[in-house]
Amino acid sequence: MNLSRQEINAISNLGLAHMGDCVFEILCRGYLCARGGKNVGNLHRDTINMVKATAQAAFMDKLLPHLTEEELSWYRRGKNSHVHAVPKSCTPAEYAKATGLEALFGALYLAGQTDRINELFKLVMEA
């Protein structure tokens, strides 16, 4: 996609997170498949471990120093969203960071910034 900033800003915070949830998960799935040597059950388990809120919050901590001002604003939009329920497996702060990460990846995808998405994902996966 290649939406304008104005079009992206018209999408709700949770709408951006909804899109980013899919984008981030497909990146994780691709990353795990490319590493090879796993059966479907292990791929599924490892994907879930990467996309759960606690992991996404930790990934976001790694990304924050590398974000532009615009990217930070998209992150903050998701982080500050009013969600109705938080999973028992994470804290509200972790869930907020995870929602921010998803909003960031959703906005970047909708803006057509796939190179930047890949760059940020690579930073997340580095030790």
Q: Calculate mean pLDDT across residues 76-105.
A: 94
Thinking of the domain 5-125, which architecture would CATH place it in?
Orthogonal Bundle (1.10)
Q: What are the domain boundaries of the chain? A: 5-125
Question: Rounded CA gap, 80 and 99, in Å?
Answer: 9
Angle at 112 between CA 9 and CA 99, to 5 degrees: 55
Average pLDDT over the chain reads: 95
Active site residues: 21
DSSP state of 72: H
- Say whether pLDDT at 127 is over 90: no
Please state whether 39 falls in left (phi above 0), alpha (psi between -120 and 50) or beta: beta
Residue 74, C-beta contacts closer than 8 angstroms, at least 6 positions apart? 8, 16, 103, 104, 106, 107, 108
**pLDDT confidence band for 37 (50 / 70 / 90):** confident
Q: Average of pLDDT values for 72-96?
A: 93
- Please check whether residue 106 is in contact with residue 16, taking contact to mean a CB–CB distance below 8 angstroms: yes
Instruction: Check whether 32 has a pLDDT greater than 90.
Output: yes
Q: Residue 82: pLDDT above 90? A: no
Tokens 């490892």: give the residue.
Answer: 46
Report the share of the chain in percent with pLDDT over 90.
Answer: 89
